A and B are shown apart, each in its own frame.
Chain A
Amino acid sequence: MNTDVDRVVAHLSPGAGPGMTEGAHALMRDIMAAEPGPARAVASTGAGAPVGRRGRRSLVLRAAVPGVALLAAAFLGLSWLLPAGLGLGPGTAAALDIKKEDGYYVIEVKDLYAESATYEAQLRDAGLDVTLNVIPSTPALVGSVFPTSLTEDRYLDAIKTIDRPGECDKMGGCPIGVKIPENFQGHAEITIGREARPGEPFQNGTAIDALGEPLHCLPYIGRTVAEVRGMLRERGVTDLVFDDMDPVSGGTKESVPDSWLVEGGSMREPGKASLNVYEGSEPQEPGGRRGENCPTS
């Protein structure tokens, strides 16, 4: 060993910096707001960080990640009417119903399965510079509305949703419409969650125990895979994939031992869940994210 010379060098080491700070966490979120993978690959040490215009899918992810607080913010403003049932199929004359009322455009989505271009054309004809995406979403986010500005990279408080009066079992509220001020300037991109067709992957989702999701109010974190599999089966979720959280051997797996422990999960498509799992030494005290709306008993 050459520890003596190495010790001299070690002695010269400048400070390591402040470590994992809030700014470091913020950077992580910023980086993940961009799409990963080869599609975005450029020379690894070449151009600066990817910024600016983001793809629609990544915009949705970005909207989704911060969770409840962001949803609450997104739901503050505008009025765009969604059909109460959200179940209208294709074939109606127009994809949207756009009216002017009290200084607002009030927009109702008649066909939730139309192409974005169809919506956009109709909105443009009405004089609105708005992109509308209706994407398959987990139950908690069906009916959710994210109004954002793609060019300015921010949420649009001016665009307001109207919630259905009364009880609501969705974490972001139960919007029945969206209002856009007639004098609204600039481009808006509005993402609305709809139900997924069988086998259609969710493009937007949330934790599996969030309000409206299958394991809401059920302590499942720290339970074994076998236990959680049973809990999900009782609720009609029979297809599982696993995300092994081990940093060495981790990744997506079709099966893991029943004795492994669950530390999180989300719905992938109707009837199919993904569970974050690890090989724990012993079962933990079962926990979960207890919602405000859980029974107190």
Chain B
Amino acid sequence: MSKQRKEGDIGPPAPEHRFERLYLAHYPAVAAYVTRRTESTDDIADVIAETFTTAWRRLDDIPQGDEARLWLYAVARRVLANHFRAQERRSALAVRLREELATWSRPPADRDGDATYQAFRRLSPDDRELLTLVGWEGLSSAEVARVLGCSRGAARLRLHRARKRLAKELAAADLDLTTYGLRAVALAEGKS
């Protein structure tokens, strides 16, 4: 059932309304964040459910505006980390979502040949996390800092190093860096 209003619908009180706005505005981004980092569709449903349940419980703590999205990413990140430490947990919520995801066929990621992907996989989890927040979620280094809970300066520095390490891995894999542009070549050669 959609939330299309109709005769007799409830006018939700403020918390419901705010949550609904937050949810509708940010669900796609949060769901994408989780989906990109999780293999099993059951896990995807659980992590999404727990992330938004946390948001509902802590509605008053959620910052306004686009900061809310970063707040949700940060929660999802923590939920993901915990989830993989306690795999047996299954949310009783998200039954329908789990059923949907089970029938959703994940399109194969275009990984531009295994060599690039393998180079990426050789990076540390921390490096991959930094790079994917930028490359997959499109965050700036300042936004990455908000999600990771570190200073902007630290985020910028760590991001720079991660980029440099990936460029080196790509070069070591004998991938033609010029495919990706001169900036990558410069990074791999330590000119940046």
Residues in A lying within 8 Å of B, measured CB to CB: 1-28, 30-32, 34, 36-38, 40-42, 44-46, 48-52, 61, 64-69, 71, 140, 171, 205-211, 243, 245, 247-252, 264-266, 274, 276, 289-292
Contacts and interface: CB of A to CB of B under 8 A. Distances in A.
Closest 4 CB pairs of A and B: A266-B11, A9-B135, A23-B97, A4-B181
B148 interface: no
A290 B96 CA distance: 31
Nearest to B186: A4
A51 B93 contact: yes
B31 A248 contact: no
Main secondary structure of the interface of B (DSSP, over half): helix
Contacts of B12: 65, 266
Given A12-B111, A15-B109, A206-B11, A4 B28 contact: no
Interface residues of B, number: 92
A252 B16 CA distance: 12
Contacts of B28: 16, 19-20
B191 interface: no
Contacts of A207: 5, 7-11
Interface string B35-65: 1100000001100111011101111100011
B116 A247 contact: no
Contacts of A21: 97, 100
A171 B9 CA distance: 10
Contacts of B172: none
A30 B57 contact: no
A36 B1 contact: no
B155 interface: no
A37 B1 contact: no
Interface string B55-94: 0111110001100100000010011011000000111111
A245 B17 contact: yes
Contact of A291 (B7, B44, B79): B7
Contacts of B107: 15
Interface centre among A18, A52, A208, A243 (most CB of B within 10 A): A18
A247 B22 contact: yes
Interface of B: 1-3, 5-25, 27-28, 31-32, 34-36, 44-45, 48-50, 52-54, 56-60, 64-65, 68, 75, 78-79, 81-82, 89-101, 104, 106-107, 109-112, 116-117, 120, 131-132, 134-136, 159-160, 163, 166-167, 170, 180-184, 187
A237 to B, nearest CB: 13
Given A9-B134, A25-B1, A247-B21, A48 B92 contact: yes
A180 B16 CA distance: 33
Given A6-B131, A28-B20, A250-B21, A22 B180 contact: no
Contacts of A206: 8-11
B21 A245 contact: yes
Interface centre among B9, B31, B35, B170 (most CB of A within 10 A): B9
A239 B59 CA distance: 27
A20 B27 contact: yes
A207 to B, nearest CB: 5
B50 A23 contact: no
Given A2-B183, A5-B163, A45-B78, 7 more contacts: A4-B182, A5-B180, A12-B117, A16-B32, A24-B31, A25-B2, A207-B7
B85 to A, nearest CB: 10
A17 B76 CA distance: 15
A51 B27 CA distance: 21
B104 A37 contact: no
